[in-house]
Structure 1
Amino acid sequence: MKKSMKWILVLIIITVIIGFVFWVQAGKWMADGLDAKADGTNEYAIVLGAKVRIDGPSLSLRYRLESALEYANDYPDVKLILSGGQGPDEHMSEAEAMRIYLVENGIEEERLLLESESTSTYENMVNSKNLLPSTIQSVTIITSDFHVARARMIARSLNLQTDAVGAKTPEVVKVQSNVRERIALIKTYIVGK
């Protein structure tokens, strides 16, 4: 084998090993992200949006909303920041869809703050932080279980302490979401967004 071919093979092997290590680490981050269970001590909870369909919230968003509703009922003094913009194929912002659902299910409008400009998890966190009083340094994040680790990692980069509520992930998208989220977590770790 030529010397240059050996170097190429060595580089490929090293790349595969590094990729595998990051892949395993991302899985650990995802599991560890759920360790900080929310207990109502934070004054604010940020509910991260997901797809809105013509007939209402997608299943992923509905599960997040069910978790947010339960949390809001358990801790009636907590205010909710509903965070999510309007995608090109959505007829309303994710924040507005969440507001409608929560109000229809008995949550007082006065407890809800809407952040309807964000188009990514990073923007969710930055824009939601801007709605917080300057004295608030810790929040609860409510999102899908697979998504908690990255949301918390981004919040930490913005100097926010967090605990979390992890909503269940629909079975139909569990594998796809897990793979996609591992890649996004690795990107967030490297790039910071």
Structure 2
Amino acid sequence: MLGAGLINGQVLPLLAGRLCRGLHAQRQYGAKLLVTSGGQGQDEPVPEGDAMRDYLMSQGVTPDRVIAETASSNTAENLKFSRELLGDPQSSVLVVTSSYHVFRTALLTRKLGMRAHVIGPRTVWYYFPSVVIREFIGILRDQLRFHVAAGVIIIAVSVLSVAFSSTRSAPG
């Protein structure tokens, strides 16, 4: 389960939604272990992974069924470090994040070679204007080489097309 910001070390509703979705999925699919993943931001008194673990334990999850990853500082690190905690890099995993973050997270799991299914609870509508922009920028950043190469190819084809059409239509 991927982290999200805390206020005064407390799990906020957005993150609680992720955790509840993870608990539901655990019951539905019979997962033996839950990994809460999130480091400690500069304005956070505890790592997100620890706060998430504590929240799950307050919901009845026993300590032996949840492990906290607390070293990550971004989504790629969340995934990488959590996979390392699981031991078997080829095991199938279920990643829980927010619905707006599912697509980018799925792209990252693929890039990292993970066998993963990514799910998320619904996100309230008023988050969407800001998070869609943030996720779009995140995808551009995560796939920067591809987007730069595609841009160069499009520009090159456009320039060649204009140059070729100019030479064909020149009077002569």
TM norm. shorter chain > 0.5: yes
From the superposition, tell whether residues 64 and 76 of structure 1 become closer, same or farther in structure 2 (CA, over 3 Å): same
Do residues 78 (structure 1) and 70 (structure 2) align? Answer: no
Q: Distance in 2 between matches of 1:57 and 1:191?
A: 36
Amino acid at match of 2:93: V
Runs of 4+ off more than 3 Å: 75-78
The answer (yes or no) to whether the contact 1:85–1:119 under 8 Å persists in 2 is yes
Corresponding residue for residue 162 of structure 2: none
Equivalent residues in 2 for 1:8-19, closer than 5 Å: none
Corresponding residue for residue 11 of structure 2: 57
1:40-92 Cα shifts (integer Å, max 9, x gaps):
xxxxxxx0000111161122211111211222233344311110001011111
Q: Distance in 2 between matches of 1:162 and 1:76?
A: 16
Unaligned runs of 5+ in 1: 1-46
Unaligned runs of 5+ in 2: 147-172
How many residue pairs align between the two structures? Answer: 146
Do residues 141 (structure 1) and 95 (structure 2) align? Answer: yes
TM-score by length of 2: 0.77
**Which stretch of structure 1 is more off in the superposition, 166-175 or 138-147?**
166-175
Corresponding residue for residue 94 of structure 1: 48
Corresponding residue for residue 67 of structure 1: 21
TM-score by length of 1: 0.70
Corresponding residue for residue 106 of structure 1: 60
The answer (yes or no) to whether the contact 1:86–1:93 under 8 Å persists in 2 is yes
What is the CA-CA distance between 1:164 and the residue it aligns to? Answer: 2.0
Q: Quick one: higher RCO (CA 8 Å, sep 6+), 1 or 2?
A: 1
From the superposition, tell whether residues 129 and 179 of structure 1 become closer, same or farther in structure 2 (CA, over 3 Å): same
1:101-160 Cα shifts (integer Å, max 9, x gaps):
111101121111211010100111111121122263321110001111111211111111
From the superposition, tell whether residues 172 and 113 of structure 1 become closer, same or farther in structure 2 (CA, over 3 Å): same
Q: Which of the residues 123, 128, 146 maps onto 2:77?
A: 123
Residue identity over aligned pairs, in percent, reads 32
The answer (yes or no) to whether the contact 1:125–1:155 under 8 Å persists in 2 is yes
In our comparison, the structure showing a higher alpha carbon Rg is 2
